[in-house]
Structure 1
Amino acid sequence: MPVALDAHPYDALLLLSFGGPEGPDDVVPFLENVTRGRGIPKERLKEVGQHYFLFGGVSPINDQNRALLEALRKDFAEHGLDLPVYWGNRNWAPYLTDTLREMAADGRRRVLVLATSAYASYSGCRQYRENLAESLATLQAEGLELPRVDKLRHYFNHPGFLQPMIDGVLKSLADLPEDVRAGAYLAFTTHSIPNASADTSGPVEEHGDGGAYVKQHLDTARLIADAVREETGTDHPWQLVYQSRSGAPHIPWLEPDICDHLEALHGAGVPAVVMAPLGFVSDHMEVMYDLDTEAKAKAEELGLPVRRSATVGADPRFAAAIRELVVERAATESGRDVRLCALGDLGPSHDVCPVGCCPARAPKPAAAGADSPYA
């Protein structure tokens, strides 16, 4: 029998994700949830939904989360961590509010939250915290006893997040034709966000050119590229590039776009490219459409050999990393000494988001941070 690991004072883990449609009839209602308050006409949402309709109206993210839930529960059981795992989404069933209501009914009083976003940004961290605060406010209005909710720290530089991506890049390189393999470039991709959001990402002291969002991605890319060089003996040039822009044309967003980058590399005589989506936890719609569909079509048009490496998904090493982060946070909360695991130059991220971290244009209450209205 495994030695029991101590999760005290926590009595549950909540997997908190974005959500996605599970059939054609879900697509427009899902997009209405995502864009609520922006006044976007339904006809425009139908146009946006074409990405989903290409895949039968089903986003892969929900099945990816089910696989991650199974991996977490299996890992916890094998390592003696007695901690139930729940799942709630921001924009589709199972909805976050319903899951928190279920957790309250089950008597859960100290909840750790795992968000399916590894980096600091408004959309990748604080917006999840705002959703938590909204859901807790709903439960409070219903007269329910609220659990205390804490969020696991950013895990972009944890070995269990990095190693599956390193292996994915190595596999993609090996899959390229031998005559272009040594000259292949690595294009590390992540979600583009407005420059203003990037510049104010992370704690106030990290605000500036690209903020914590860009710094964290660059550190992750460097760690992967260094590991690939050590394994192959080849120093592959690399760059951080962006995808999935969705904002108004007049608002500056992070660049270059992956398709523009492929054109530039081809024009410079680069023989092949590996696209590595290090900004995404799983192969959800933005990976499947923007990389596997759109970017690969651009590469084919250019005659440029490309491969797309895997995200971490439900890799057992990622599940193990989450277990380690849970035990680490539990020890910290209990006042026990613990070594925080992180690679690279930036070190372990903060446990509690400070005031001013990843601010929104219109401030809203956010749970699981120093400014949380729910202690």
Structure 2
Amino acid sequence: MSTDVPFASEAASSGAPHIETPVAYDAILLAGFGGPEGQDDVIPFLRNVTRGRGIPDERLEEVAHHYRHFGGVSPINAQNRALKAALEAELTRRGIDLPVYWGNRNWGPYLEDAVREAASAGDTTLLGLATSAYSSFSSCRQYREDFARVLTETGLAGTVTIDKVRQFFDHPGFVQPFIDGVRDAVGGFLADGIAPGAIRVLFSTHSVPTADADRSGPRDVDFGEGGAYAAQHRAVAEVVMAAVAGDITGAGAVGWELVYQSRSGPPSQPWLEPDVCDVIAELPAAGVEAVAIVPLGFVSDHMEVLWDLDTEAMDAAAEAGLRAVRTQTPGVDPAYVAGLIDLVEERLNGTPAAERPHATALGPWFDVCRPACCENVRAGFKPAAAGLAP
């Protein structure tokens, strides 16, 4: 096995950007963020999320109120249970005999327990499927570092290998639910007599530190400001708006913007902007009467969607006197679930890159992440699976 792609299957250890050799995977490893499932879980969960940063509990409690508002329960674990069941059903429908093990980064069930369970069952060649579609440290590399950490800490590094499906931001199965949601929202506004120019679509995603964003994606490609992370979101938003314009007369005159939410860093640290609520407050002055808020950066209704969009952004829209709709996330939409299993089949079959579906010119993304991809500026490079070192 090549040391340049640690913890990889024999095929992926070649380091090729796209693995076009069939791999007989034993199982799928569904990797999630995790979330608390009761009031007593909230602070311990937030300690896990912020481990190594020395943040006192008093400051964590400032974030905890988002969870406490919903009884201390994040929706994310229930959503991943539903996704796991949907993936298993789709695998069965296609006649693919692969178990799905589910583990989280920050709360039970933990990744290390899932990997131990897989190894105990004799499933040692795993294909990772992280519940995040885009390229950045927190949405891709950190999962790869988690895979490496878990294999090392469990002593299974010489026994279990973990590859990872490509980032799926522009896979048609992921994009279609957003097209459907924006089409419904814009069509509804137009049907109510709102002029196209008075409608705005805001594509929202999680803000990240600008230094990390600029280092997202392979380092030998200039993606412009915000790196691959921002470029991928902009590209998908363009695809969504073009599809809606093709389906609805007049929708081509509807304006849109990429916005950010859920910033958590200190004021002195630059993060991606503009903030969704700040943009909403400015829309009436631009003649906007209705806004569709699209959670483009999220695969399901995470806490950031329920609080930052459904609560704070919708409150901002009401204060601005705007009609507002928050469109759907992929969740367990059949197109999305089928698309995820398409990604699994790509690796099972060694599908050539030229034959892989992608909705933007940026895809299909890499199976094996490139050197120095998605660096964490503050922590540097840690060992990571499914990518060329560092």
- TM bracket, shorter-chain basis: over 0.9
**How much is the aligned-residue C-alpha RMSD, in angstroms?**
1.7
Distance 1:337 1:227 in 2: 24
2:31 is matched with 16
Distance 1:96 1:290 in 2: 27
Aligned-pair distance for 1:109? 1.8
Distance 2:147 2:376 in 1: 15
Distance 2:315 2:30 in 1: 34
Residue 181 of structure 2 is aligned to residue 168 of structure 1: yes
Query: Which amino acid is 2:139 matched to?
Result: G
Distance 1:294 1:137 in 2: 41
Q: Is residue 7–residue 83 contact of structure 1 (8 Å, CA) maintained in 2?
A: no
Aligned-pair distance for 1:28? 0.4
1:264 is matched with 282
Aligned-pair distance for 1:323? 1.1
Query: Which amino acid is 1:172 matched to?
Result: A
Query: Which amino acid is 1:159 matched to?
Result: P
Query: Which amino acid is 1:309 matched to?
Result: T
Aligned-pair distance for 1:128? 0.8
2:113 to 86, 90, 98: 98
- Report sequence identity in percent: 52
Distance 1:178 1:326 in 2: 42
Aligned-pair distance for 1:31? 0.2
Aligned-pair distance for 1:149? 0.4
Query: Which amino acid is 1:179 matched to?
Result: G
Superposed counterparts of 1:138-287, under 5 Å: 138-140=153-155, 146-176=159-189, 178-180=192-194, 182=196, 183-207=198-222, 208-233=224-249, 234-235=251-252, 236-287=254-305
Where structure 1 has 5 or more consecutive residues not aligned to the other structure, the ranges are: 1-5
Aligned-pair distance for 1:173? 2.6
Q: Is residue 331–residue 338 contact of structure 1 (8 Å, CA) maintained in 2?
A: no
2:324 is matched with 306
Distance 1:99 1:63 in 2: 17
Distance 1:336 1:108 in 2: 26
Q: Is residue 21–residue 59 contact of structure 1 (8 Å, CA) maintained in 2?
A: yes
Alignment length (residue pairs): 363
Where 1:204 maps in the other structure, the secondary structure is coil
Where 1:81 maps in the other structure, the secondary structure is coil
Where 2:220 maps in the other structure, the secondary structure is helix
Query: Which amino acid is 2:86 matched to?
Result: A
1:329 is matched with 347
Where 2:201 maps in the other structure, the secondary structure is strand
Q: Is residue 151–residue 157 contact of structure 2 (8 Å, CA) maintained in 1?
A: no
Name the structure, 1 or 2, with higher relative contact order (CA <8 Å, separation 6+).
Answer: 2
Q: Is residue 39–residue 73 contact of structure 2 (8 Å, CA) maintained in 1?
A: yes
Aligned-pair distance for 1:174? 3.8
Query: Which amino acid is 1:112 matched to?
Result: L
Query: Which amino acid is 2:318 matched to?
Result: E
Residue 51 of structure 2 is aligned to residue 39 of structure 1: no
Q: Is residue 353–residue 364 contact of structure 2 (8 Å, CA) maintained in 1?
A: no
Where 2:369 maps in the other structure, the secondary structure is coil
TM-score of the superposition, structure 1-length normalised? 0.93
Where structure 2 has 5 or more consecutive residues not aligned to the other structure, the ranges are: 1-20
Distance 2:243 2:101 in 1: 34
Query: Which amino acid is 2:361 matched to?
Result: D
Query: Which amino acid is 1:73 matched to?
Result: E
2:8 is matched with none
Where 1:16 maps in the other structure, the secondary structure is strand
Where 2:298 maps in the other structure, the secondary structure is coil
Distance 2:102 2:213 in 1: 28
Q: Is residue 203–residue 357 contact of structure 1 (8 Å, CA) maintained in 2?
A: yes
Aligned-pair distance for 1:43? 1.7
Residue 308 of structure 2 is aligned to residue 290 of structure 1: yes
2:366 is matched with 350
Q: Is residue 126–residue 366 contact of structure 1 (8 Å, CA) maintained in 2?
A: yes
Query: Which amino acid is 1:217 matched to?
Result: H
TM-score of the superposition, structure 2-length normalised? 0.90
Runs of 4+ in 1 over 3 A off after TM superposition: 174-177, 335-338
